[in-house]
């Protein structure tokens, strides 16, 4: 997954939209990715009979403006549910699996906005 990371300003972003797999814990995977790279924002959206969203952000990503709790809360609403957490880790989900792709797009846009805000503030 890490090799699929894209640079988004100061952070590296991995978004994986996966089917539910036995023996695979999305939170554990996301946390491993963020621990391996402090600039990493790892997003795992697992779709089965429902949508589960997990986001983990490394220390440098959080310092760059990432707030996983805000992102998960917004994305979970799209799929008809709820969730939240802290700046460095959050989870949530909802029942509307047909809106999973829309939630993934919104997550990517929100991450772009979050890392753009500090840059704009520094310019003033």
pLDDT in tens, 61-115: 999 999 999 999 999 999 999 999 999 999 999 999 999 999 999 999 999 999 8
CATH 3.10.310.40 assigned to domain 2-119? The reply is: yes
**Residues in a beta bridge with 51:** 47, 94
Compute the distance between CA of residue 47 and CA of residue 94 in angstroms, rounded to an integer: 10
pLDDT at 118 > cutoff 80: no
Residue 87 CA to residue 109 CA, distance in Å, equals 17
CB 57 within 8 A of CB 102: no
Q: Where are the domains of the chain?
A: 2-119
């Amino acid at each position: 997954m890490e090799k699929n990371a894209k640079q988004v300003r100061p952070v590296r972003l991995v978004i994986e939209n996966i089917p539910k797999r036995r023996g695979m814990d999305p939170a554990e995977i996301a946390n491993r990715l963020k621990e391996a790279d402090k600039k990493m924002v790892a997003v795992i959206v697992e779709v089965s009979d429902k949508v589960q969203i997990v986001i983990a952000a490394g220390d440098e990503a959080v310092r760059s403006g990432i707030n996983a709790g805000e992102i998960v809360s917004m994305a979970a609403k799209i799929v008809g549910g709820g969730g939240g957490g802290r700046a460095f880790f959050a989870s949530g989900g909802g029942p509307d699996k047909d809106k999973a792709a829309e939630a993934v797009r919104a997550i990517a846009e929100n991450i772009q906005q979050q890392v753009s805000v500090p840059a704009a503030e520094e310019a003033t």
